[in-house]
């Protein structure tokens, strides 16, 4: 069985096709959403999801989140005394999803389709694939989130020549994609986005509003207090789903601060974020060469689109109500599971061709003439334009720029700037050419970009027929097979927290956190209840543990509001 996975910035999900439809698989806590949070304790025990999120409130220095934004980069995350890359942290989330799904399905899972933002570049897609491999998956395909969302909505079963726009605002990234269906082919016409814009930023706005209102210096607070305030900001943000006003309540140095916020004031404070959304939409429409009136449907994807201010903004921007018939948190995972069923040739799923686009322009550095024999180096020559349908291959002929030039160096670049220095360097190829006057010798430079996000560059000297090629897999943080094996062995030493104890551990972490927040008699009462629960755990009787867990949860729920 091949499963579909939505590896998200804030939450991750795993789904499968049961023969009739795609279904999201609950984790061991019974939740469909697993927070993309990882925490590692001093003994090397790894906590993932809700337990890690709870543990962050007590041990923020041993916890990481929002690491998806750093996929494909050399950034390192220090958790206590251990250091991890973004893909290693993501692999823990994927491994947790895998273990939970194996328990639910009662079978071993080896293959997966994993979704990524449409605007993820080559290195970010490769890093996602590595994360899947580190988690023990064979990654059958990396599918763009808007394509998965479109499949989930069943748009692949609609009439031909349907154009639709997918508005995908997740926890940490924003994508807008324009897709078109004709016959059994679903083609991505254009993508644009911002890898540093998402629901987390809307939470940060609430935090900053709170700091300004209460005249609090954020830099004066410790990490534990900041984590507490961030959690309260998240809860306040969710309150706006049902109310026009919300109260943010935080405890700082034993003093309780209350801040009542109206949704209108919140929307005004979010204007900078909302305005950032417009540019990718305008760019995608321009690249697809279609007008907004040509779009038949607008689909909302991602948990942040549940925010009333976001839905209001989208409705005003497009002049119509968007489609929200499927839970925006689950739509991508469901689509990835349907894509997995297609890979398995499941008869219940209509076979269709999915095309994608190259999200960034690929090109090289050239020298341009300024007249009177003057030349200026460092200019960018696009070879494969952004939003070209893939697979795609393009060739440009380049000439020597100086007399007696004996070699041509082709720098391989990715980006949109007209200056080479401002674009991402992916690699280079250098070939000798016969010495002669400027412009006599030339080379053909061919860029080929395939459906698996692999770029092949070939340079051929026309006069000598000598050629050289290179395959660019990603721009940094490349691991060889041997290095991947070594890292797998190192990560294997860390122990993913036992699944069967997840609910108990979550409750214990919550109790520990509330004990630290409380004082006086309440603190003593929490200590008494926690000790009683730990005594029941030691007896290892499942029925007694279940009853005691329920009692402790009721108790903690009843006093949490009082602690603040």
Contact 145, 332 (CB under 8 A): yes
* Residue spans of alpha helices (H) in 122-259: 122-134, 145-152, 199-213, 223-239
Q: Provide the token pair at 141.
A: 């395909």
* Residue spans of alpha helices (H) in 62-144: 86-105, 122-134
CB atoms within 10 A of CB 243: 11
Cα 564 to Cα 554: distance, rounded to the nearest angstrom: 17
Contacts 24+ apart (CB under 8 A), 520-529: 522/559, 522/562, 522/563, 525/559, 526/556, 526/559, 529/555, 529/556
Cα 24 to Cα 33: distance, rounded to the nearest angstrom: 9
Cα 324 to Cα 340: distance, rounded to the nearest angstrom: 23
- As beta bridge partners, residue 79 has 82
Question: How would you write 271-338 as a 3-class SS string?
Answer: HHHHHHHHHHHHHHHHHHCCCHHHCCEEEEECHHHHCHHHHHHHHHHHCCCCECCCCCCCHHHHHHHH
Look at residues 68, 74, 170, 76 and name the one whose alpha carbon lies nearest to residue 125.
68
Q: List the Cα angle 197/330/357 in 5-degree steps.
A: 60
Cα 144 to Cα 113: distance, rounded to the nearest angstrom: 10
Give catalytic residues, as residue numbers: 6, 68, 145, 168
Q: Provide the token pair at 553.
A: 């949860």
Dihedrals phi, psi of 195, to nearest 5 degrees: -80, 0
DSSP 382: E
Q: How far is the CA of 188 from the CAs of 147, 262, 325, 387, in angstroms?
A: 8, 39, 22, 8
CB atoms within 10 A of CB 27: 24
Q: How far is the CA of 559 from the CAs of 178, 229, 368, 528, in angstroms?
A: 49, 19, 71, 14
Helices 145-152, 331-343: crossing angle, 10 deg rounding: 90
3-state helix, strand, coil in the chain (%, to 5): 40, 30, 30
Bond preceding residue 391 cis, omega within 30 of 0: yes
Segment holding 220, helix H or strand E: none
Q: How far is the CA of 212 from the CAs of 199, 209, 217, 270, in angstroms?
A: 20, 5, 8, 15
């Amino acid at each position: 069985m091949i499963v579909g996975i939505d590896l998200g910035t804030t939450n991750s999900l795993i789904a499968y096709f049961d023969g009739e439809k795609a279904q999201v698989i609950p984790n061991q806590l019974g939740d469909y959403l697993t927070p993309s949070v990882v925490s590692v304790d001093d003994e090397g025990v790894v906590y993932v999801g809700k337990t890690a999120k709870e543990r962050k409130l007590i041990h923020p220095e041993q916890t990481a989140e929002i690491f998806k934004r750093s996929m494909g980069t050399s950034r390192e995350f220090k958790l206590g005394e251990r250091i991890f890359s973004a893909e290693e942290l993501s692999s823990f989330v994927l491994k947790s999803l895998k273990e939970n799904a194996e328990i639910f399905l009662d079978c071993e899972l080896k293959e997966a389709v994993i979704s990524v933002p449409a605007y993820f570049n080559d290195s970010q897609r490769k890093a996602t694939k590595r994360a899947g491999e580190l988690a023990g998956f064979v990654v059958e395909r990396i599918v763009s989130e808007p394509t998965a969302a479109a499949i989930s909505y069943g748009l692949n079963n609609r009439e031909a020549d349907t154009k639709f726009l997918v508005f995908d605002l997740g926890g940490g990234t924003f994508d807008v994609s324009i897709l078109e269906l004709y016959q059994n082919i679903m083609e991505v016409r254009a993508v644009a986005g911002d890898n540093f814009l998402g629901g987390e930023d809307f939470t940060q706005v609430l935090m900053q509003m709170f700091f300004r209102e209460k005249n609090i210096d954020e830099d004066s607070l410790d990490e534990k207090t900041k984590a507490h305030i961030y959690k309260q900001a998240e809860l306040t943000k969710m309150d706006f789903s049902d109310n026009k006003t919300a109260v943010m309540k935080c405890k700082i140095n034993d003093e309780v601060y209350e801040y009542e916020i109206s949704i209108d004031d919140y929307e005004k404070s979010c204007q900078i974020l909302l305005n950032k959304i417009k540019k990718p939409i305008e760019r995608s429409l321009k690249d697809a060469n279609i007008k907004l009136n040509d779009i038949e449907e607008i689909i909302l994807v991602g948990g942040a689109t549940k925010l009333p201010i976001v839905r209001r903004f989208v409705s005003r921007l497009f002049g119509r109500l968007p489609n929200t018939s499927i839970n925006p948190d689950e739509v991508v995972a469901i689509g990835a599971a349907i894509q997995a069923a297609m890979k398995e040739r499941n008869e219940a799923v209509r076979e269709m061709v999915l095309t994608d686009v190259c999200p960034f322009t690929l090109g090289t550095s050239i020298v341009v003439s300024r007249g009177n024999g003057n030349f200026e180096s460092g200019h960018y020559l696009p070879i494969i334009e952004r939003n070209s349908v893939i697979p795609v291959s393009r060739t440009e002929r380049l000439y020597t720029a100086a007399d007696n030039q004996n070699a041509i160096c082709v720098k391989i670049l990715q980006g949109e700037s007209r200056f080479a220095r401002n674009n991402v360097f992916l690699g280079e190829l250098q070939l000798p050419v016969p010495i002669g006057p400027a412009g006599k010798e030339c080379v053909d430079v061919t860029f080929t970009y395939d459906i698996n996000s692999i770029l092949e560059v070939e340079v051929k000297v026309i006069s000598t027929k000598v050629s050289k090629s290179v395959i660019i897999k990603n721009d940094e943080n490349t691991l060889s097979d041997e290095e991947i094996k070594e890292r797998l062995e190192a990560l294997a030493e860390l122990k993913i927290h036992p699944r069967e104890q997840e609910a108990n551990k979550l409750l214990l972490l919550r109790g520990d956190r509330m004990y630290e927040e409380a004082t006086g008699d309440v603190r003593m009462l929490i200590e008494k209840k926690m000790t009683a629960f730990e005594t029941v755990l030691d007896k290892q009787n499942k029925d007694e543990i279940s009853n005691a867990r329920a009692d402790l949860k009721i108790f903690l729920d009843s006093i949490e509001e009082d602690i603040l």
